[in-house]
Amino acid sequence: MRELKLVGFAGSLREKSYNRALLRTMVELAPLGVTLDVLTIGDLPHYDGDLDQDGERPANVDAFKAAIAASDGVVLVTPEYNHSLPGVFKNAIDWASRPGYRAPFTDKPVAFATASAGPIGGMRAQMHLENVLLGLKARPFPHPGCAVTFAPSKFDEGVLTDEDTRDFVAGYLAEFADWLRERRG
Amino acid sequence: MRELKLVGFAGSLREKSYNRALLRTMVELAPLGVTLDVLTIGDLPHYDGDLDQDGERPANVDAFKAAIAASDGVVLVTPEYNHSLPGVFKNAIDWASRPGYRAPFTDKPVAFATASAGPIGGMRAQMHLENVLLGLKARPFPHPGCAVTFAPSKFDEGVLTDEDTRDFVAGYLAEFADWLRERRG
C-alpha cells in the first residue's frame, strides 16, 4: 500500500479555533500509511503581485508552495466568515495559485472540511471553496461534504471528542486516501 | 443637496493594479457634492479573533473601522482571484464585520466594481461579494453591475482613459449618490 503524504492548513488563526482543533484531530485520525503535516499560514504576507516575482518572493511563501507541490494531496479546514472564506485562508490559497495553472494547486487533489458553532457547519464557505478549487484547476474530492456542526458540544480542550463525529471524520479521510490511491494506481 | 462622504478601498496591492487605478479614477469622477476617500488595507494584519479584543486590536484596524462607520457609503473595487475575492480584500472586510451585526458594515450602503484584463470583468468575484455583503447585513447597491473588461485597452498610465467607460463609471457613481440621497432623505 503506497504511503501518502498529505499537507493541510486551517483557515483561522485563533488559538482555540475549532477548525484548527479539527485539523489537529485529523492528523491523529489519518489512516494507516497516511501522514498529514500541518502548514502555518499566519506568517504569509498579504498577496501582492509586485512581491510575487522571482527574487522578491518571501522565503516562507516559497516553502509553503513547495510543501503543497510535494504532497499527494491537501486537506483544507476552515471556518466560514461572513458567508464566505476567511481572508487569511484565501490569501494562502492565492499565493499557492501562481503562476496560473502551473501552480502547486494545479491538478492537486484537495479534501476540505468546515466546523462551526451553529447548525450550518460552515457550508457556505465550502460552496465558495468549491468555486475556488475549480478556478485553480485543482481536483476537489467528490464527496457529500465533511462539516462539524454545533462544534462547542463536540470538542473538549481542543480535541474532537464526540465519537460519532470522530468516526465520520476518520471515514472521510479513509475515503480520501482510497480515492488518491485509485487515481494514482 | 446633502454632501455625501464615501470611503473606498481596492482589493489589490499591486502598484499598477487596474482596480486601484479604477478606484483613483472614481475619486476624480465622483459627482458634485460627493467626496470619496481611499482607505489602505495592505497594512491591516491577518484577521485573528485573539487580536480582535478591546486592548489588543491594532490602532490601524480601529481607524479603518471608524472610517467606514463614519461614511455615508462604501465603494469597493476589486479584482477576481481564483474565481473569488482576493484574500487581502476579504481580510479587510472580515475586520470591519465585527462585532457581528453591530459592525461598521452593518446596514452600510455599498457600491462595488471590478476590473479585469479579460472579457469576464471579475464578475465571479462580484457574485461572491454579493453573498458576503448580505452576510454582513450591509446594503448592496441594487444595480446590474459595474465592471471594466479588457482593462489594458482602457487604462493608460494608471488612469481610465476610455471615454465610454468613464461615462459609465461616472453614471454608476451618480446613481449610487442618488440612491443614497433617496434612502436618507
DSSP per position, A103-119: STTTT-EEEEEEE-SSS
CA distance A3 to chain B (A): 31
Query: H helices within chain A, ranges in order?
Result: 18-29, 59-70, 87-95, 123-135, 163-184
Q: What residues of chain B lie within 8 A of the CB of A99, using their CB?
A: none
Mutant choice from A82, A85, A88, A136 vs B, greatest count of B C-beta within 10 A: A82
- Calculate mean pLDDT across residues B131-139: 98
Q: Is A110 on the interface with B (CB under 8 A)?
A: no
Across the interface, do A46 and B135 touch by the CB < 8 Å criterion?
Answer: no
* Domain edges within chain B: 4-184
Cell numbers for A12, please give them. 483561522
Identify the bridge partners of residue A6 per DSSP, sorted by sequence position: A36, A73
Burial class (CB in 10 A: 0-12, 13-18, 19+), B3: exposed
Amino acid (one-letter) located at A145: G
Cell numbers for A107, please give them. 491538478
> pLDDT for B25-80, tens place per residue?
999 999 999 999 999 999 999 999 999 999 999 999 999 999 999 999 999 999 99
Across the interface, do B83 and A134 touch by the CB < 8 Å criterion?
Answer: yes
Rounded-to-integer distance, Cα B97 and Cα A122, Å: 17
User: What is the SS3 assignment for A184?
Assistant: helix
What is the separation, in whole angstroms, between the first and last Cα of chain A? 10
Across the interface, do B87 and A88 touch by the CB < 8 Å criterion?
Answer: yes
CA distance A31 to chain B (A): 31
What is the separation, in whole angstroms, between the first and last Cα of chain B? 10
Across the interface, do A17 and B87 touch by the CB < 8 Å criterion?
Answer: no
> What percent of chain A is predicted at pLDDT more than 90?
97
Place of cell 494608471: B158
Give CA angle at B54 (B50, B59), nearest 5°. 95
Identify the bridge partners of residue B114 per DSSP, sorted by sequence position: B78, B147
Name the pLDDT band for B135 (thresholds 50, 70, 90): very high
Q: What residues of chain B lie within 8 A of the CB of A134, using their CB?
A: 83
Across the interface, do B49 and A89 touch by the CB < 8 Å criterion?
Answer: no
> pLDDT for A36-91, tens place per residue?
999 999 999 999 999 999 999 999 999 999 999 999 999 999 999 999 999 999 99
Name the pLDDT band for B130 (thresholds 50, 70, 90): very high
- Calculate mean pLDDT across residues B17-32: 98
The size of the A-B interface in CB pairs under 8 A is 123
Rounded-to-integer distance, Cα A78 and Cα A59, Å: 25
CA distance B11 to chain A (A): 10
Q: Closest Cα partner for A35 from A77, A70, A79? A: A70
The domain B4-184 is classified under which CATH number: 3.10.450.50, 3.40.50.1820, 3.40.50.300, 3.40.50.360? 3.40.50.360
CA distance B85 to chain A (A): 8
> Kind and range of the H or E element at A9?
strand A4-10
Q: Is A134 on the interface with B (CB under 8 A)?
A: yes
Across the interface, do A86 and B47 touch by the CB < 8 Å criterion?
Answer: yes
Amino acid (one-letter) located at B29: L
> Kind and range of the H or E element at B95?
helix B87-95
> Kind and range of the H or E element at A160?
strand A159-160
Q: Is A46 on the interface with B (CB under 8 A)?
A: yes
Mutant choice from B90, B123, B130 vs A, greatest count of A C-beta within 10 A: B90
Across the interface, do A91 and B91 touch by the CB < 8 Å criterion?
Answer: yes
Rounded-to-integer distance, Cα A6 and Cα A150, Å: 27
Tell whether the model's pLDDT for residue A184 goes beyond 80: no
Q: Is B134 on the interface with A (CB under 8 A)?
A: yes
Mutant choice from A46, A64, A78, A128 vs B, greatest count of B C-beta within 10 A: A46
Angle between helices B87-95 and A87-95 (to 10 degrees): 170
- For residue A29, CA distances in Å to A143, A152, B9, B137 come to 18, 20, 43, 38
Burial class (CB in 10 A: 0-12, 13-18, 19+), A124: buried
Rounded-to-integer distance, Cα A65 and Cα A63, Å: 5
Which of B12, B47, B132 lies closest to A84 in CB terms? B132
Burial class (CB in 10 A: 0-12, 13-18, 19+), B115: buried
Place of cell 510543501: A67
Name the pLDDT band for B183 (thresholds 50, 70, 90): confident
Name the pLDDT band for A1 (thresholds 50, 70, 90): confident
User: What is the SS3 assignment for B32?
Assistant: coil
Across the interface, do A124 and B136 touch by the CB < 8 Å criterion?
Answer: no
